[in-house]
Amino acid sequence: MLPRISFRWMFGLTTIGAILAAVGKAAGSGGAIAVSLMFAVGFIVACFAAYAFVFFIALSVSSLWHGEVEDALKGSPFAADQLPPQILPPRESRS
């Protein structure tokens, strides 16, 4: 299935891209604030890339460790209309 991208999202992404391009051009000309802004944006992007990389490593190790997904859903309380296991048993009601 193709993602649904509206014109509003495309205009927003184009605007953000144009602003980043203008700041990048100012940073190339030696603007101190523009350089610091580009470093901040680059740092945020690098953090998200590192988080995604670590997530995919954990996902691959998890898939090797647990095997198939069907086995993981076997004891799930949401898989077959069964109640979850009770940690604390219910108290006797005194009526």
CA–CA separation, 25 vs 17, rounded Å?
A: 12
pLDDT at 90: 73
HEC per residue, 14-68: HHHHHHHHHHHHHHHCCCHHHHHHHHHHHHHHHHHHHHHHHHHHHHHHHHHHHCC
Percent with pLDDT over 70 in the chain = 75
Rounded to a whole number of angstroms, the CA Rg of the chain reads 25
Query: Is residue 71 classed as helix, strand or coil in its secondary structure?
Result: helix
Q: What is the pLDDT of residues 42-56, one digit of tens each?
A: 999 999 999 999 999
